[in-house]
Structure 1
Amino acid sequence: MSSLYVILLVVIAAALMGVSLFRASLVKTKADYLVAGRSLPATVLVLTLLTSWIGAGSLFAGAENAYRNGFAALWQAGGGWLGLLLIYFIAPRARKFAQFTLPDLLEARYNQTARVLGTIAILFAYVGITSYQFKGGGNVLHLIFPETVSPELGTYIIAVFVIVSTALAGMSSVAYMDVAIGSLVTVICIISAPMLFVKAGGWTGLHATLPETHFQILGNLTFLRAMEFLVPTMLLMLGNQVMYQKFFSAKSEKDARISVIGWILGTVLLETLIVAIAVFGSALYQTGEVAKQPYEIIPYTARHGLPAFMGALLLSAVFAKVISTASNYLFSPATNLVNDVFVRYIAPDASHKRVLIISRLAVVVLGCWALYQAIYAQSILQKMLYAYTIYSAALTPVVLAAFYSKRVTAWSAVAAIGTGTVVTLAWDVPGVKDVFPQVIAQRDAIFPALIAAVAALIVVSLFTAPPSAEQLAKFS
């Protein structure tokens, strides 16, 4: 059986690297590298959006949530679904704006300071997200090769592969790798879920094995805790730079809007299947190694709960999915360093060749930073919530205000980004939460950071001059 896993992993890895090498040969300009020459059709957009969104956050953090709380874990996925409904209306506006990065948008609507602070917030959030993709992928390799590959070694292997494949061709590589991976994962999950449902004894077997709370709307969660899963996911979705870069890469505004419809349908289906597979696995494997590390439940169930070929396919699909999401979230902040720092402030007249070299170096540097975080991260779920919170509190309110508010000002955006970032980073510093009542101090940072950021956005807007008609015209 081990040889089957090796063969599939080698085939997938070779195919992904082949796509990167081929797309790299087509990259000639900055636009080719950063936004795939603005050439992506709706079909490619659907699969790359779906694949970039559903990675280790769903396959490991979401699965850990499902192992502990049952179907109530769908509160986390539901945040993305709500965000997608609103994105349907944002997508064509984003394509009409047609820049390279989210800080481009922040400067056009607000000012340079908002651009710089937005870049800093994105770096912290997206490198954090990349780090737990590396960690999740390392755990997958350890499950396949338990005696030869430790989780740490697996993390290093995944990191090197992702850094090299992403550095080669940028958005073009990322988008077209996603097409194959998104198709594979969706098909395998559709086939695997019913097989595991039957093996777990159907609804009768599941109810006999699992606590009744696993089948309730809130499960073991309080409503506030459910909101702490839903809100960061929803706000990350709404302000997600990876998503905006995909829309900037679309062939047209029509392609951008159409892609969201497919993305909604695919995300609801795939997120539900992932939670279901984790719940079925929790009924089958309640003790042993996976009980101590429940974020491994999906790859563990693939390894031990399915026929060899199907298990190998599911495990290989998880492996490919982690690589895809890591590539997306590594590439995105690298474009910030290049477009929003290097080209904007250091070498505005740099040639295309020089920009491409710096872009690839940025991928390598940020990849090493993400690898460092991955080695020292303890909980993938907690790392996910931390990364989502930085982005949700610091950036999403000002991004939404750019499209839907005519009164929010440049300096209120600066205040909101700075406040959201500082509160999130400071929340877990020893002694900081001691000044708050216990009912607030014991919570995650999302609501304190979000409330502080939105308050700054509103209050500073009231005391500063409104934006000019020229600034507003680009977002109408």
Structure 2
Amino acid sequence: AYMVIVSYQYNAGGAVLSTILTDEAGKTLISAETATIIAAVFIIAYTMLAGLVSVAYTDVGNGIIMTISLLIAFPILWFKAGGWSGMEVAFTGMGKSQHMQFFGVYSGLDIINFCLPPFLLILGDANMYQRFFASKDAEGARSATIILVFVVLIIELLIIASAWVSASMIPDAEVGKHVLIYAAHRFLPPFLGAIMMTTMVGIIISTADSYLLVPATTLMRDIYLNYINPKASEKKIVLLSRLLVLALGIVAFIVSKGFAESEGFFERALYAYTIYGAAITPALVAAMFWKAATKEGAVASILSGTVVTLLWKEAPNLWTWLPAGIYGSVDEVLPAICCSVIALVGVSLITKRKS
């Protein structure tokens, strides 16, 4: 799941590069494939050399700069689009009048399909807990979390609103996939656009190196140091950790190549979030808040969440017995999280009685 998340950061980095590097006619000077390779090489090298320090300082800088730049950019985009009436005319002209509705073309079930995977990811995301434990003390972590909730809410609302307004000025569906990148390059004043693009690159790098560092650290601490070489020197640990980052980065690049001609960033993101969220989050939350949870229940939850996600997505022939319309309208997140929680509770209760 983490490698899928890293893979579309490569693609996003490539999209930024190919958007920036254009000639006077607006034609890109670099292919998407070459741009993706450049982004992947830079991200892997940066993560290998900088480690967790890169994540901490990049996140702080990005958060401050992005909040300020979005607060300035949104009014500019709003007036450039002609306000509410201008957007309504533009969307109607594109045949997308439903985009002026709050949920657009999406049903309540679609909203659940889209929102539940990232919610589950955030609840159990190892990167978030890594940052909590990197705090100097518990009080600092608590204060940072309170600030985090409000700042993230502001940033997310500004991102959604800016993308919505910008979309009214972009009739080209292909360009619309990278709406904020295109808007920063074409619709904002050069200085502000440059800041926005720089911030986007920083977010891409921060996300990618976070999702490379966590599995590398897990493999090193939980497997290598526990079972292979418990007495390894600090120098060897650092070297092997960097080699693991390199190996995982290459795996993520291979994954990005495999997805290049299929689904877009959004679909891949939801798939990766579901694999992780349905498998890990129920067991993690239970470990902190439910004393009756057992290790057997946690293992059953992880296995069932992963297996159901993969089978629902990759083996549609297995679900032909379901009533018509259910499989096509329900994403893998709902059956996966339900099976994961049922397995966690059921197996925990059974094994608890035996003990």
**Unaligned stretches of 5+ residues in structure 1:** 1-124, 469-476
1:432, CA displacement in angstroms? 2.8
Total equivalences in the alignment: 341
Shift of residue 332, structure 1, vs aligned partner: 1.3
Pairing of 1:132-281 with structure 2 (within 5 A): 132-146=8-22, 147-210=28-91, 211-281=96-166
Which position in structure 2 is the counterpart of 1:459?
346
Per the alignment, residue 445 of structure 1 pairs with 332
| Amino acid paired to 1:357 | L
Contact 2:175 2:182 (C-alpha < 8 Å) held by counterparts: no
Q: Distance in 2 between matches of 1:435 and 1:352?
A: 55
Mapped partners of 1:264, 1:458: distance in 2: 30
Distance, in Å, in 2 between the alignment partners of 1:160 and 1:187 is 30
Instruction: Assess if the C-alpha contact under 8 Å between 2:58 and 2:202 holds in 1.
Output: no
AA partner of residue 325 (structure 2): V
What percent identity do the matched residue pairs reach? Answer: 40
Aligned residues of 2:77 and 2:187 also touching (Cα < 8 A):
yes
CA distance in 1, matches of 2:152, 2:334: 25
Number of the residue aligned with 2:319: 433
Matched-pair contact (CA < 8 Å) for 1:408–1:467? no
Tell me if structure 1 keeps the 8 A contact 2:48–2:242.
yes
Q: Counterparts of 1:396 and 1:459 in 2: how far apart (Å)? A: 17
Residue of structure 2 equivalent to 1:128: 4
- Counterpart CA distance in 1 for 2:353 and 2:160 is 45
**Residue correspondence of structure 1 range 294-305 to structure 2 within 5 A:** 294-305=176-187
- 1-side partners of 2:97 and 2:354: how far apart? 54
Post-superposition Cα deviations, 1:404-448, rounded to whole Å, max 9, x if no partner, equal 101111101100000101111222224233343333321221011
Q: TM-score, normalised by structure 2?
A: 0.92
Q: How far apart are 1:294 and its partner, in Å?
A: 2.6
Q: Any gaps of 5 or more consecutive residues in structure 2?
A: 23-27
Query: What is the distance in 2 between the residues matched to 1:434 and 1:381?
Result: 26
Tell whether 2:220 aligns with 1:331: no
Write the distance in 2 (CA, Å) between the matches of 1:361 and 1:467.
44
Cα drift, residue 467 of structure 1: 11
| Residue 235 (structure 1) shift | 0.9
Once the two structures are superposed, residues 227-269 of structure 1 have per-residue CA deviations (whole angstroms, 9 ceiling, x without a partner) of: 1111111111110100011111111111111001111111111
Q: Which amino acid aligns with 2:117?
A: P
CA contact (8 A) 2:278 2:305 kept: yes
Matches within 5 A, 1:26-425: 125-146=1-22, 147-210=28-91, 211-287=96-172, 291-377=173-259, 378=262, 379-425=264-310
Runs of 4+ aligned residues of structure 1 deviating over 4 Å after TM superposition are: none
Contact 1:412–1:461 (8 Å) recurs in 2:
yes
Counterpart of 1:170 in structure 2: which amino acid?
A: G
Aligned amino acid, residue 127 of structure 1: M
Would you say the 8 A contact 1:130–1:325 is kept in 2? yes
One-letter amino acid matched to 1:301: A
Cα distance in 1 between the residues matched to 2:156 and 2:290 = 32
Supply the distance in 2 between the matched residues of 1:158 and 1:368 (Cα, whole angstroms).
12
Q: Decide whether aligned partners of structure 1 residues 251 and 467 sit closer, same or farther in structure 2, where only a CA change above 3 A counts.
A: farther
The answer to whether the 8 A contact 1:126-1:387 is kept is yes
Could you tell me the TM-score, scaled by structure 1's length? Answer: 0.69
Aligned Cα root-mean-square deviation (Å): 1.7
Measured in 1, the distance between the counterparts of 2:212 and 2:63 equals: 18
Distance 1:316 1:345 in 2: 42
Distance of 1:358 and 1:192 partners within structure 2: 43
What displacement does 1:393 show? 0.6
Does the Cα contact within 8 Å between 1:127 and 1:333 map onto a contact in 2? no
User: SS state of the match for residue 314, structure 2?
Assistant: coil
SS of residue paired to 2:221:
helix
Cα deviation digits, residues 139-172 of structure 1 (max 9, x gap): 1101111433211111111111111111113212
State whether residues 163 and 364 of structure 1, in contact with CA within 8 Å, keep that contact through their aligned partners in structure 2: yes
Displacement of 1:466 in angstroms is 6.5
Cα gap change, 1:467 to 1:334, in 2 (>3 Å): farther
Asked if 2 retains the 8 angstrom alpha-carbon contact of 1:303 and 1:312, the reply is: yes
Compared CA separation, residues 253 and 391, structure 1 to 2 (3 A): same
- Indicate if the aligned counterparts of 2:297 and 2:347 stay in contact, CA closer than 8 A: yes
Q: Counterparts of 1:467 and 1:185 in 2: how far apart (Å)?
A: 53
Matched residue type, 2:302 = I
Please give the alpha-carbon distance, in whole angstroms, between the structure 2 residues aligned to 1:238 and 1:426.
Answer: 24
Which letter does structure 2 place at the counterpart of 1:141? L
Question: Following the alignment from structure 2 to structure 1, what is the Cα–Cα distance between the partners of residues 138 and 353?
Answer: 29
